[in-house]
Structure 1
Amino acid sequence: MISKKPRIFVPENLEINWENLEPLFLELRDRPINSVEELERWLKDKSELEAALEEDFAWRYIRMTCDTANEELLKSFQYFATEIEPKIAPIANDLNKKLIENPFSKNLDKDKYYVFIRGVKKALQLFREENIPLLTEIQVKQQTYHSITGAMSVTLDGKEYTLEQASVFLKDPQRSVRQKAWEAITARRLQDKDKLDDLFNELLKLRHKVALNAGFENFRDYMFQALGRFDYSPHDCYKFHAAIEREIVPILHKQADKRRIALGLPQLKPWDMDVDISGKPALKPFNSGQDLIEKSIRCFKELNPYIGERLEIMKENGLFDVESRKGKAPGGYNYPLAETGAPFIFMNSANTFRDLTTMVHEGGHAVHTFISADLELNDFKHLPSEVAELASMSMELISMDKWEVFFDNEEDLKRAKRDQLRDVLKTLPWVAVVDQFQHWIYTNPEHTTEQRKTAWKEIIEPFGNNFTDWRGYEEALENLWQKQLHIFEVPFYYIEYGIAQLGAIAVWKNYKTNPEVALEQYLAALKLGYTKTIKEIYKTAGIEFNFSSEYVHKLAKFIKAELEKIDQ
């Protein structure tokens, strides 16, 4: 069993409310600091308080997403968001000022604190008192997306399913079954399209106002700074989009054509993209959520005992909620528990192959949480997404080496690996589309709902429209973006998946050459947390931080070669 680290500054069992927190923040604000040693002690105490607050907030979020219909859990989350965070924001800014203005800050170890201090200075530049109520309103409003989508279900042949459960039928060899399921899922999503459009329009206005208050022309430019994107620019993102269109889309068009021929169809429709073209039933790598957890532990243990033991610790401590059910928020996540040093994995398993890849993805995040848990300051563990997603996406590919745990049939194992590599390629255009769409949204903040639909269709078209024929289902295509929760809840958090996917392919390429060295480099990179720049962390992992067309071409060529080996 695991437990929280002993507290030194924050009282044990402190009830989290502002009355109890304010004296702690004021003590930090007013404490004299007369040496480097005293400054480092102050940083540790501040870190301890932040970790306590982050873990409290984490559990409020986890419990709310596990049961979106529970009003008390929603109120608990909203209390923190509306009554605690807005009061912390101004005094946290004062603490940042105190750190930077303290004369001893110049004597801190530059190698150790460089990335952290750089982030503090950026936060000071972006802080505006008038944005506190706006950011609070945004955070509360974003959760409406969970409430709307978590309530969605469909009835097929007299039985009610969540959308995740119903998606299993999209793998059925019988085309009429797939079409019926896809149309039911799509119709249910479209029932709430106006609600989601209205919600997004409100979020758009609030986000744009935040950007203007902070002195930016648009929310895109504000978010590049707020997300700490020191290593690349919007222009680099456009280059990434172009590289994916040039290097990856043609490969996927060829694969789609092979799929169409194998299925004997005149054209592929949206419900034809998940079925196995061999005509065999969908892969079933596990039988239940518990079975998925057990097999994932075995898979990770065979890769590396330390990795497997992390998931075992989570199981023993009840840190999983993996089954899909009505009222549960959609999607999946790994939520770090800052004080405990372990994470919670949330997902919506419907006993599909995709659930396996979700688990090993979130498992990669979980290992990252554990291996960086002992870093000295809480801020050292605040990972940029380009690094966090490298951990998870690399694990998807590395773990394939041990997938016989899930598949005792050699042909099924080959099918699983083939599907995974195809999904790797499919991820890249979707990332490019979602990212480019967000660039358009926030640099055109006065757009109408209809203009947004038009822009979405124009952006997705050169990336293959998901490589299907949408005739007769144009409304579904123009609202397809609404299923991407990142657009609603974590704006501009998506290009990271593309950058990290390229990095993960490179990690796996190294692993295929020398498994021991590649795994050692991977874990060494994860252990750094965010104490080095992104480029330095990627270098530690034995790869480049690079998304040029030439690099994309090289990695795509490698994936194609690996697919050909599987097909031999």
Structure 2
Amino acid sequence: MIHKKTRKYIPQDLDIKWETLEPIYSELLARPINSANELEQWLQNRSELEAALEEDFAWRYIRMTCDTANAELLQNFQYFATEIEPKTAPYSNELNKKLVESEWINQLDENKFFIYLRGVRKALELFREENIPLQTEIQVEQQKYQGITGSMSVHIGDKEYTLEQASALLKDTDRSKRQEAWEKITARRLQDKDKLDELFNHLRSLRHKVALNAGFENFRDYMFQALGRFDYTPQDCYAFHAAIETEIVPILRDQAEKRKEALGLEELKPWDVDVDISGKPALKPFKDGNDLIEKSIQCFSNINRYLGERLEIMKDNNLFDVESRKGKAPGGYNYPLSETGAPFIFMNSANTFRDLTTMVHEGGHAVHTFLTADLELNDFKHCPSEVAELASMSMELISMDNWNVYFDNEEDLKRAKRDQLFDVLKTLPWVAVVDQFQHWIYTNPDHTTEERKDAWIRIYEPFGAGFVDWSEHPEAEQNLWQKQLHIFEVPFYYIEYGMAQLGAIAVWKNYKENPEKGLQQYLDALKLGYTKTLKEIYETAGIKFDFSAGYVRELAEFVKNEMDKL
């Protein structure tokens, strides 16, 4: 069993409410600091407080997403968002000021604190008192997305399915069954399209106000600063989109033609893209959620005993919720528990191959959480998404050589690897579309709902539009963006998947060439947390932080060659 770290500053049994927190914040703010050592001690005490708050918030979020219909759990989450965060925010800003104005700040080890202090100065630059109530409202409003989507279900035959469970039927070899499942899923999504449009319009308006208050022309430019994107610009993102369009889309178009030919179809429809073209039934890598966890522990152990032990620890401490059910929020995540030093994995398993890849993806995040658990300050663990997603996406590929624990049959194993590598390439255009769409949304803040639909189609089409014929389902295509949780809940967190996907291919290439060295470089990079720049972390992993057309082409060719071997 694992337990929270022993606290050295705040009370062990601290009840998380403002009345108990305010005296601690006041003490930190008023405390005299008379040396560099005392400044470091002050930073550690502040870090301990922030870790306790983060873990408390984590459990409120986890419990709410596990049961979106439970009003009490929603209320507990909203209490933190409305009663605690708005009151801690001004204190955090004052503590940041106290830090940067300290006469001892220049005596801190620059090698250790450079990244952290850079982030503190950026937070001070962006802080506006008038944004606190807006950010509170945004936090509460964006959770409505999970309430709306978590309640969606469909009836197929005499059975009720969550949308995640129903999507498994899109792999059925009977085309009429696939079509029925797709049409019912789509009709259910469209039933709430106006509700989701209304929610998003409100979120867009609130976010634009935040940006204007902070002195920015638009929310896109504000978020690039707020996300700490010190290493690339919006123009770099547009260049990456273009590289994906020129280097990846032609490969996928060729794959779509082969799919059409193999299935004997004139045109691919939206329900034709997930079925296996071999004509064989969908892959079944595990029986149920518990079997998925056990097999994943074995898979990770076969790569490296340390990795498997991390998942065993999580299982022993009930840190998984993997089965799909009605009332559970959609999607999947790994949520770090800052004081405990372990994470919680949440997902919606419907016993599909995709669930296997979700588990190893979130498992990569989980390993990252364990590797950074003992870093000195809580902020050192707050990795940018370009690093966090490198951890997870690399694990998807590294783990493939041990997928025999999921598949007894050699041909099934080959199919699984082919599907995974195809998904790696397929991810990139979708990332480019979602990112470019968000650039458009927030640099055109006064757009109408109809203009947004038109923009989505205009952006989606050059990237292949899924390589299917949408002519009979224009409304479904126009509203496809609504299924992407990130657009509602974590705006602009998406291009990182593309950058990390390239990095993951490079990590896997190194691993294929020298498994021991490749794995060690990967783990060494993750151990750094966010104590080095993106470029330095990627270099530690033995790869480049680069998303030029040439690099995209080089790595895409490597993946295509590996697919051809299978």
Corresponding residue number in structure 2 for 1:114: 114
In structure 2, how many angstroms separate the alpha carbons of the residues matched to 1:13 and 1:333? 28
Tell me, yes or no, if structure 1 residue 4 matches structure 2 residue 1: no
TM-score (norm 1): 1.00
Tell me, yes or no, if structure 1 residue 399 matches structure 2 residue 404: no
Report 1:75-90 matches (<5 A): 75-90=75-90
In structure 1, how many angstroms separate the alpha carbons of the residues matched to 2:281 and 2:471? 28
Q: Give how far 1:445 is off.
A: 0.1
SS at match of 2:104: helix
Tell me, yes or no, if structure 1 residue 205 matches structure 2 residue 186: no
Corresponding residue number in structure 1 for 2:15: 15
Report 1:25-174 matches (<5 A): 25-174=25-174
Amino acid corresponding to residue 446 of structure 1 in structure 2: D
Corresponding residue number in structure 2 for 1:482: 482
In structure 2, how many angstroms separate the alpha carbons of the residues matched to 1:354 and 1:138? 31
Amino acid corresponding to residue 395 of structure 1 in structure 2: M
Gaps of 5+ in 2: none
Tell me, yes or no, if structure 1 residue 443 matches structure 2 residue 443: yes
Q: Give how far 1:471 is off.
A: 1.1
Tell me, yes or no, if structure 1 residue 216 matches structure 2 residue 216: yes
* 1:244-279, Cα deviation, whole Å (9 max, x unpaired): 000000000000000000000000000000000000
Corresponding residue number in structure 2 for 1:312: 312
In structure 2, how many angstroms separate the alpha carbons of the residues matched to 1:488 and 1:357? 24
SS at match of 2:328: coil
Amino acid corresponding to residue 33 of structure 1 in structure 2: I
Q: Give how far 1:281 is off.
A: 0.2
In structure 1, how many angstroms separate the alpha carbons of the residues matched to 2:185 and 2:274? 14
Corresponding residue number in structure 2 for 1:364: 364
In structure 1, how many angstroms separate the alpha carbons of the residues matched to 2:169 and 2:295? 24
**Identity over aligned residues, as a percent?**
77
Q: Give how far 1:196 is off.
A: 0.2
Amino acid corresponding to residue 376 of structure 1 in structure 2: E
Tell me, yes or no, if structure 1 residue 187 matches structure 2 residue 187: yes
Q: Give how far 1:372 is off.
A: 0.5
Amino acid corresponding to residue 170 of structure 1 in structure 2: L
In structure 1, how many angstroms separate the alpha carbons of the residues matched to 2:233 and 2:514? 34
Corresponding residue number in structure 1 for 2:246: 246
Amino acid corresponding to residue 419 of structure 1 in structure 2: D
* 1:405-450, Cα deviation, whole Å (9 max, x unpaired): 0001000000000000000000000000000000000000000000
Pairwise CA RMSD: 0.3
Corresponding residue number in structure 1 for 2:458: 458
Tell me, yes or no, if structure 1 residue 514 matches structure 2 residue 507: no
In structure 2, how many angstroms separate the alpha carbons of the residues matched to 1:496 and 1:285? 29
Count matched residues.
Answer: 566
Gaps of 5+ in 1: none
Q: Give how far 1:215 is off.
A: 0.1
Q: Give how far 1:472 is off.
A: 0.8
SS at match of 2:154: strand
Tell me, yes or no, if structure 1 residue 505 matches structure 2 residue 505: yes
Corresponding residue number in structure 1 for 2:553: 553
In structure 1, how many angstroms separate the alpha carbons of the residues matched to 2:532 and 2:385? 14
SS at match of 1:27: helix
* 1:43-70, Cα deviation, whole Å (9 max, x unpaired): 0000000000000000000000000000
Q: Give how far 1:303 is off.
A: 0.2
Q: Give how far 1:13 is off.
A: 1.2
* 1:59-101, Cα deviation, whole Å (9 max, x unpaired): 0000000000000000000000000000000010000000000
TM-score (norm 2): 1.00
SS at match of 1:103: coil
In structure 2, how many angstroms separate the alpha carbons of the residues matched to 1:424 and 1:268? 20
Tell me, yes or no, if structure 1 residue 418 matches structure 2 residue 406: no
* 1:336-366, Cα deviation, whole Å (9 max, x unpaired): 0000000000000000000000000000000
* 1:485-543, Cα deviation, whole Å (9 max, x unpaired): 00000000000000000000000011110010000000000000000011100000000
Corresponding residue number in structure 1 for 2:430: 430
In structure 1, how many angstroms separate the alpha carbons of the residues matched to 2:240 and 2:408? 39
SS at match of 2:345: strand
Corresponding residue number in structure 2 for 1:275: 275
In structure 2, how many angstroms separate the alpha carbons of the residues matched to 1:156 and 1:282? 18
Corresponding residue number in structure 2 for 1:532: 532
Corresponding residue number in structure 2 for 1:339: 339
Amino acid corresponding to residue 454 of structure 1 in structure 2: D
Amino acid corresponding to residue 81 of structure 1 in structure 2: A
In structure 2, how many angstroms separate the alpha carbons of the residues matched to 1:99 and 1:308? 40
In structure 2, how many angstroms separate the alpha carbons of the residues matched to 1:488 and 1:501? 22
